[in-house]
Amino acid sequence: MGSIIKKIFTFLILPLCIAGLVYLLVDSIQQPVKFNKVKAYRESIAVQRLKDIRDLQVAYKNVNGKYVSTIDSLKKFYNEGKIEVVMQVGSKDDSLAMANTRKVKAKLRGLRGDKLNNKLMELYKNGERNLVFSTKTNVFVKDTLFHGRTDFHIDSLAWIPFAGDSIEMKAITKMVSGVRVPLFEAKMPYKALLKGMDRQLRINLEAEKEDQGRYSGLMVGSIDAPNNNAGNWE
């Protein structure tokens, strides 16, 4: 009887235990690898969204002189706002067009700046194509920023990818060396961005960032001090 039990243990139970231990060992090695792979993918989506927020904030500030603290304000600006763009007509490398432009400008020597360029645009629209000049015009934001981007959706701008939580955003005007400086920041904490992933590995990552004195997540800009609207991934 004892020998039977010994054989069962040797040939059945022991191999199963060894197989179980090997599985646990391999899994413990693979878990961080899988975690980092999924983390990198989620971060790539999140970084692009923060870059889009930055681009809209900068465009808004160029028009209004300040940043905004809500995504709704950015969405309204994107859907209804306009920005000034410089349109270049003709090429300065075209010597014939440059020569013709000089002749036309000589006839219009009483005009300067925008008035001159507006007149050149009028002539251009009326058929005088052999001209070289630049002119300013106002265009809708949505017809300029992200135009042609199939991965951009303004209604997704407020949300942290894979989480459904709102992006944290603030905007202030701060005195820096006696000068009032507009600042903004937008954040995605790892607790939300990595939702549903290995909890202990996420906690370890957050602890590591805190030990380094860094934000535990992704962020762009800062309301603490000017940083040229840099992202903490850059």
Contact between 140 and 81 under an 8 Å Cβ cutoff? The reply is yes
pTM: 0.76
Q: Give the confidence band of 204 by pLDDT, cuts at 50, 70, 90.
A: very high
DSSP string, 132-172: -EEEEEEEEGGGTTTTT-TT--GGGTTB-TTT-PBPEEEEE
pLDDT digits (tens, 9 = 90+) for 102-142: 999 998 888 888 888 888 888 988 988 889 988 888 889 99
Q: Give the confidence band of 26 by pLDDT, cuts at 50, 70, 90.
A: low
pLDDT digits (tens, 9 = 90+) for 16-25: 556 555 544 5
Distances from the Cα of 79 to the Cα of 54, 139, 144, angstroms = 16, 12, 11
pLDDT digits (tens, 9 = 90+) for 35-59: 999 999 999 999 999 999 999 999 9
CA distance 1 to 165: 63
- Residue 224 above 50 pLDDT? yes
pLDDT (average), residues 207-212: 94
Specify the pLDDT at position 115: 87
Reported for 207-211, long-range contacts at CB under 8 A and 24+ positions apart, including other chains, are: none
CA angle 204, 209, 210 (to 5 degrees): 95
Contact between 42 and 193 under an 8 Å Cβ cutoff? The reply is yes
- The number of helices, as runs of H, and strands, as runs of E, in the chain is 7, 5
CA distance 148 to 146: 6
